Amino acid sequence: MRLLQFNFLVLFTLCVFQNAKAGSIDDGFKALDQFNYFEAKKQFEKSIKSNESAANYGLAVIYFRKDNPFHQLDSAYNRIVRSEKTYGLMKDKQKEFLKKYNFDYAAIALLRKEISTGLYLLVLKHPTEEAYDSYQKKNDWADEKFKAIYSRDSIGYQKAKTANSSAGFDLFLKKYPESTFQKEALNNYYRLQYIENTDGKTVSSYLGFEKQFPSNPYVADAQDQVYHMSTKGSRVQDFKVFIKTYPKNRNVENAWRKLYQLYMSDYSLERLDKFQKEFPDYPYTSELKKDRELGMQEIIPFKKEGQFGWMDLNGKISIPAQYSTVGFFKEGLAWAEKSGKYGFVNKANEVVIPFKFSSCNDFDKGRAIVELDTLFGIIDRSGAYIIEPQYKDIGQFSEGLIYAVKDSMYGYFDGLGFPRIPEQYEEAFSFSGGMAKVTYKGLEGYIDEFGSFKVKPLYESINLFGDSAIVIEGDESVKIANFQGDELKTIPIEDIGSLVSDRALVISEDKIGYVSKNGQTAIPATFDYFTNAKSEGEFVGNYAKVSKANKFGIIDRFGKTIVPFTYSKLGGVSSLISFEKAGKWGFIDLQNKLLIAPTYEAAESFKSGLGVVQLLTLKGGINAKGEIIIPIEHTTVKPLDDSHFIVSLGAFYGIYTNKGKLVVPLEYSNIRKVQDNFYILTRGTELHYFYVPENKLIKPIFE
């Protein structure tokens, strides 16, 4: 009986205890609904042990809300985390009972997100890398987690950039290996690692870097630097030593081709023989054999039915007409146009460089200028870019340098495509005599091959005068100065001609005189100005044509009269000089000796061995004895070169030698020089050639 009473007592006590627990949590939620935060907090704290998840949730609500004195987000965070962790320990009956207060796992998750949002807003008030990192670690469920990670990484990355060291980026990458900035940080890490370990910028520093950091992508640049530094002299010997010393360098193939290009500067068979003997280990022997076979051929362009091909010097077709336009072969290659694009072919009509350019120039010493999509660059004989086609304007190589403009400023490159002088000039010109004129900040000056100013940019318009002075052009006057800008003592100058035989014609107060290359007066300005004086009054050798009192004569370099001022009209200085007397023209020599009596309506001083003369309205050519060499039956007669004259009769042109042989009949509408030793002759749609060395007319032979 006593045992039964004891069991009843225990059961009664347990029921009272359970009802007390339910009452506390129930009272807490009721108080919370009534915004009685003190009572709610009291009840929830009493219920922690009996219903940990629900009680912590209630406390989290209180700490989260701002309408009570207990608001504290960190406490709200701690409570909601404990609520979420213990929710799974609750009995199903408890969960079901508390649903009436809208308490379930979804409510916990929602409140947890809201608390995290509140904490994120606090971080935004004091944003630091550590604050963002702590937040994202503690709030894995938060909507703002990835914003926090990005912000953390952004701050960390900026710190690494500010430190600007490989160690800084290495630390960042180790801390945040999956960062959005990982790729950029890694690039910077490699770049700075390269810079820090090659600070000396010596061959040994680049070699050391390659050995120490073989996986760094800048190893390629290190190899390029070794190549550039080892071959900066652009000599055959430089490339030879490079190939032998650095056989594993990625530029060895290019070095071999560069060596060959430099060695074959004149591209002759004799030179090719010498190359093979000197470099028996050259790896591209098949190319040498082909170059030898093709180099022995001499072929020139021809035209047929609007298309172009090449023929030999006998007119036999070598490559059929199949291109829109073509060029002459230079260094074994010729440009050709096909379907609006330009490329290069060899003498076997094999495409060596594909048809992809908008325009191109002939090869010169292994290089050719090309245009691609309105931008210019330079290629070598293999088609590889020496200078990428990214320049709006590009010059011609002169003294080993070439100017180019990429955006708005000009700079200079050397023959291997390496930038020699930075892009910093508004205008640039080719080098001559070791200097080039440039425009810098709106003013003109002269630089040397290293970009140092030989003549400072202080002038609106200047030109070289000899090798140690400049001509400064103003609105109304001209001054001669040394390279430092010190004006050289001379007469007032209004205009100045070119320096020839250490004499330059100057115009001073409507008079003509001459100055020497040092700017000193060589011949006083006592001669009259006459039409075209700047060109016709220039010295030819040691003599110049001048005028006094409306008469012409000839003086020497010291101003001494050689031919007296007795001629109203006088031709240019020559071995035989034309003159007019009583309306007729004849010839004198430099001693003023009459050699050919004045019998012609017009005459020109001797050039290319003949004097051009006119009787009535027709022209011809005579020799020093007055003998007619070119019949006086032409509309025009003009020197073509040292031994040939172009003549015309009406609209038709032909060619005579200065010995009187007609080598090209008068049946062509146009004659012009296109190559050394070649003149192109146009007749209707046909193109023929005159080959100077053999006085030979070349026509294509069509079968």
Both tokens assigned to 94: 């408890």
As a whole number of angstroms, the distance between CA 652 and CA 346 comes to 35
- What pLDDT is recorded for position 332? 83
CA 189 – CA 161 distance, rounded (Å): 10
- For 453, counting Cβ atoms within 10 Å of its Cβ (0-12 exposed, 13-18 middle, 19+ buried), the class is middle
Nearest to 613 by CA among 628, 625, 603: 603
Cα–Cα dist 239/655, whole Å:
48
Q: 595-613, pLDDT tens digit by residue?
A: 999 999 999 999 999 999 9
Lowest mean pLDDT among 77-81, 438-442, 479-483: 479-483
Give me the phi and psi of 420, to 5 degrees please. -100, -45
Outline where 126-180 has alpha helix (H). 129-138, 145-163, 166-175
Task: Grade residue 296 by pLDDT with cuts at 50, 70 and 90.
Answer: confident
Q: How far apart are CA 544 and CA 557, in angstroms?
A: 8
- Read off the pLDDT of each residue in 162-173 and give the average, rounded to a whole number: 95
Q: What are phi and psi of 616, to 5 degrees?
A: 55, -115
What does the pLDDT read at residue 280? 94
What was the pLDDT predicted at 23?
59
Q: How many CA atoms lie within 13 A of 580 on its CB side?
A: 14
Q: How much is the pLDDT for 628?
A: 98
In this prediction, residue 401 carries a pLDDT of 95
Neighbours of 538 (CB within 10 A): 20
What whole-number distance in Å separates Cα of residue 670 and Cα of residue 684?
10
Residue 243's SS3 state is: helix
List own/partner pairs for 82-85 with CB under 8 A and 24 or more apart: 82/52, 82/53, 82/56, 83/52, 83/53, 83/54, 83/56, 83/57, 83/108, 84/53, 84/108, 84/109, 84/112, 85/53
The tokens describing 325, both together, are 């336009």
Band (pLDDT 50/70/90 cuts) for residue 187 is very high
Q: What is the mean pLDDT of residues 681-693?
A: 95
User: Which residues are bridge partners to 378 per DSSP?
Assistant: 369, 387
> In the numeric block, which tokens belong to residue 345?
């072919």
Dist. CA 554–CA 571, nearest whole Å: 10
* Residue 4 pLDDT > 60: no
The per-residue pLDDT for 221 is 95
CA atoms of 119 and 143, how far apart (whole Å): 12
How, if at all, do strands 478-482 and 495-500 pair?
A: unpaired
Give the per-residue pLDDT at 234.
Answer: 63
- On whether the CB atoms of residues 647 and 656 are closer than 8 A, the answer is yes
**Span 558-579, pLDDT tens digits:** 999 999 999 999 999 999 999 9
The CA radius of gyration of the chain, in Å to the nearest whole number, is 46
370: β partners: 360, 377
H/E element, 628: strand 628-634
Higher pLDDT, 269 or 510: 510
pLDDT band per the 50, 70, 90 thresholds, residue 448: very high
Q: What is the predicted pLDDT for the residue at 111?
A: 96
Residues present in the chain in total: 703
Predicted pLDDT of residue 449: 94
Residue 17: pLDDT over 50? no
For residue 2, is pLDDT > 80?
no
Q: Is the pLDDT of residue 264 over 80?
A: no
Mean residue pLDDT of the chain comes to: 92
Query: How far apart are the C-alpha atoms of 330 and 388, rounded to whole Å?
Result: 22
Backbone dihedral angles phi then psi of residue 285, each to the nearest 5 degrees? -65, -30
Which of 460, 401, 404 shows the shortest CA–CA distance to 428? 404
Mean pLDDT of 401-420: 93
Q: Which helix (H) or strand (E) holds 121?
A: helix 105-125
pLDDT tens profile 18-30: 444 455 899 999 9
Q: Answer for the pair 544, 538: CB distance below 8 angstroms, yes or no.
A: yes
Residue 6 scores a pLDDT above 90: no
Look at residue 11 and tell me whether its pLDDT is greater than 80. no
Cβ-based neighbour number of residue 582 at 10 Å: 6
Q: Span 124-153, mean pLDDT?
A: 94
User: Taking residues 376-392, what's their average pLDDT?
Assistant: 89
Nearest to 690 by CA among 650, 641, 621: 641
Nearest to 680 by CA among 666, 695, 698: 698
Where residue 71 falls (left for φ over 0; alpha for ψ -120 to 50; beta otherwise) is beta
**Confidence (pLDDT) at 59:** 96
Distance between CA atoms of residues 471 and 558, nearest Å: 22
Return the sign of the alpha-carbon dihedral for residues 98, 103, 106, 109: negative
User: What secondary structure does DSSP assign to 678-691, as a single string?
Assistant: EEEEEETTEEEEEE
Tokens coding 699: 């026509």
Considering only residues 251 and 266, tell me which one the structure prediction assigns the higher pLDDT: 251
Residue with tokens 């051929």: 297
484-508 pLDDT tens trace? 988 886 678 889 999 999 999 999 9
Give pLDDT, residue 19.
43
